[in-house]
Structure 1
Amino acid sequence: MRIERVESVQNEIEEHRRDQSFSEKSNFLEEDSREDGTVLERIIFVDGKRRSFVWIETDEGFRGVFAELCVGAVVWEKDRGTFPLFSPQSPPVVEKVLGFSQNFPEEGYVEVEGSVFKIVKGGREAMESVDSHLRELEIQEVRKHLQSGTLVVKDGPAVSELPFREGTGPVGLVKNVNTTDLRREDFRKLRSLRRGERSQMFVVGTGTMKKVGTYVKLVDGEGTKGLIRLEAYVEDDTQIPSLKKTFDDLAATLPHLTADLPIPRLPENILPIQFLEESLSRYLTDKHYMNTKLFAYLRIGR
């Protein structure tokens, strides 16, 4: 592999302002009766953080990206607040990766002055491969905490590899509701939800494994501000009553974990998850330092 072009990653989150997309893949559960939930005593939140460094392009036209991933968890307790489930003595999972598309022919590792990057290529393009690997690390982290007996909430969509279990979940928390499985007219009705209210549950899929979701409003106000989606996969319809109770309790709890303030990504990015993301960032290599190392290494290698 010969590198022909090197450039730094400018923005970690690239803004793609697409129109909202709707679907007719879901059906509402007619038997769902929304009830007042109970504020939970304890929740474990799991999330991952990506820091991207340098884009490269090989002489064969493959685009790659050097990045670092960090995954961990925090616990929120009603009486004590939020604290991390990792420390310098027991750090979160950190991995350096070099992402390529799934068509890239090479495997293994690339070492850059003592920093070892694992080649990952599970996606159609480089950044998708990095995010796919991050997803796998998040799944492993969730599994680690499912034995705790505490409800686990994973930032991002639910995954079929982690079906719902009574008492522990996990439940996916989706902050970006620009893509929805609901019809346009059904989604528009969600704008009238009030703080702490949730929508009727809906189900996607007809096989043994179904995705069940609901929308929750975190703050008062018109429109989609403060609107999030909770979702989980169930293997059996007998799990739905337990999932309903979990949704009711989360609808009662999550509005207490955010605020309608002029802070970036609030109110959807609730405070325990913001705290987790900031805590994970401290374990990632400084971007300018790593970029300097990578540019020096790649230019010499060329």
Structure 2
Amino acid sequence: MIDLAGMIRNASARITVISHREEMLPVDIEYVPSSWPVEEDLITAQCPKKVIFVDSRRRRYASIEVEGCVILLSQVVTGAVLLEKDRCVPLFSPDNPPMVNLVLGMPEFIANLWGLSSDQRVMIGNLVCDVAVGLNAKDATDLYMQGIEKKIVEKFLPDALVIKDGAIDFATPTFLVEHGPIGLVKNIHKAYVDRDKFKVFSSMKKGQRSKCIAVELGHDTEYLKIMTYLKLSSTPGLRGLVRIETVIEKDRFERVKNDVFATLAGVCDTLIKVSDDSGLIPRAPEDTLPMVFLERYLDQYFYNETYVKCALIQSINSGDFKKTF
């Protein structure tokens, strides 16, 4: 086995425990008019009878600086809740827990230096960590979390309409009529329209949505991302502005586009009914009530911070940091 603790010590790494848990940092919105309109008239639809919400919670415990690069030790907890007949119930329990994983996110340079890849695990004392590799530690952890969420989406997709917190950044599974999956983007970083058009969206009243627009999914021209903007608050500006999106094959879109629009419209109606604009709930109304409910349940599955941080420091000091398969 490879002892990574020795490598870290020899690199004179600086280890910083992370006490500030806040994940969301404000960033400038990118106004790039890369979309085009695809919905001529707004379609209305009824709320789906069963909706499954999927989300992850992430906690960063420490950073390890090696060779001028940052490695992040984080934990990702992913699960789902079912909304049906005005009831919201978690789809996990202590006997059937959500997906709970410690993640060591690192840049490609460090992974190559230490001979690691994303299909491996390492031990940190008594802790088992999945290795995530990317352009940098944050991107690596983000990609890892998206992969876990994709697995949960695939697990529940045949049973109900599935709404995933955040953007749909994967090409499969693609849109299924009345099932999705649907992405709920609460923190908009890319507008896909110019500044003036985005101002129109942010000036909508509560319950209004925009006509659907389309963009190409990344550089892959086989897929389209279809999206609509929804306002969950009548306050002008970004408050209550969210984006609802799904992914579909280009050559299939024309045949089922009305089903796509109707499904997105039904999701919007559902989100309006389960949003709270009172100002009493942090991150609401963008964080709808089922998501708030899910996040609070998932928080119960985080490891004890002191235990994780002590395990890291003790393992580095003792050299008990080994590669496993």
What's the TM-score, normalizing by structure 2?
Answer: 0.86
For 1:50, the equivalent position in structure 2 comes to: 58
For 1:203, the equivalent position in structure 2 comes to: 214
Change (3 A) 1:178 1:133: closer
**Aligned mates of 2:200, 2:68 — CA distance in 1:** 47
Deviation by residue 1:145-195 (Cα, 9 ceiling, x = unmatched): 1121x1000100013223111021101000012421011111111133222
Structure 1 vs Structure 2: percent identity of aligned residues?
A: 31
**Aligned mates of 1:67, 1:48 — CA distance in 2:** 12
For 2:3, the equivalent position in structure 1 comes to: none
**Aligned mates of 2:182, 2:21 — CA distance in 1:** 26
**Aligned mates of 1:6, 1:72 — CA distance in 2:** 30
Question: Which residue type is aligned with residue 72 of structure 1?
Answer: G
For 1:279, the equivalent position in structure 2 comes to: 297
Deviation by residue 1:197-222 (Cα, 9 ceiling, x = unmatched): 11011011294311110001112222
The answer to whether the Cα contact below 8 Å between 1:152 and 1:170 also exists between their aligned partners in 2 is: yes
For 2:78, the equivalent position in structure 1 comes to: 71
The answer to whether the Cα contact below 8 Å between 2:127 and 2:311 also exists between their aligned partners in 1 is: no
The answer to whether the Cα contact below 8 Å between 2:48 and 2:178 also exists between their aligned partners in 1 is: no
- Aligned partner of residue 264 in structure 2, secondary structure: helix
For 1:83, the equivalent position in structure 2 comes to: 89
Question: Which residue type is aligned with residue 84 of structure 2?
Answer: E
For 1:111, the equivalent position in structure 2 comes to: 123
Q: CA RMSD in A?
A: 1.9
Q: 1:92 aligns with which of 89, 92, 98?
A: 98
1:215 aligns with 2:229: yes
Q: 1:230 aligns with which of 244, 254, 278?
A: 244
**Aligned mates of 2:282, 2:166 — CA distance in 1:** 18
1:101 aligns with 2:111: no
Question: Which residue type is aligned with residue 96 of structure 1?
Answer: L
For 2:313, the equivalent position in structure 1 comes to: 295
For 2:40, the equivalent position in structure 1 comes to: 32
**Aligned mates of 1:222, 1:32 — CA distance in 2:** 25
Q: Tell me the CA shift for residue 14 of structure 1.
A: 5.0
Deviation by residue 1:29-80 (Cα, 9 ceiling, x = unmatched): 2x4311333233221011112111111123x44421111111111111133x
For 2:157, the equivalent position in structure 1 comes to: 146
**Aligned mates of 1:66, 1:261 — CA distance in 2:** 36
**Aligned mates of 2:142, 2:28 — CA distance in 1:** 23
Q: List alignment gaps of at least 5 residues for structure 2.
A: 1-6, 321-325
- Aligned partner of residue 78 in structure 2, secondary structure: strand
The answer to whether the Cα contact below 8 Å between 2:125 and 2:314 also exists between their aligned partners in 1 is: no
Q: 1:162 aligns with which of 170, 173, 190?
A: 173
Question: Which residue type is aligned with residue 2 of structure 1?
Answer: I
- Aligned partner of residue 248 in structure 1, secondary structure: helix
What's the TM-score, normalizing by structure 1?
Answer: 0.92
Q: 1:128 aligns with which of 125, 139, 160?
A: 139
Question: Which residue type is aligned with residue 241 of structure 2?
Answer: L
The answer to whether the Cα contact below 8 Å between 2:75 and 2:103 also exists between their aligned partners in 1 is: yes
Q: Which moved more, 1:244-253 or 1:108-117?
A: 108-117
Deviation by residue 1:77-113 (Cα, 9 ceiling, x = unmatched): 133x211101111111111121110222222433233
Change (3 A) 1:205 1:97: closer
Question: Which residue type is aligned with residue 254 of structure 1?
Answer: L
Change (3 A) 1:97 1:208: closer
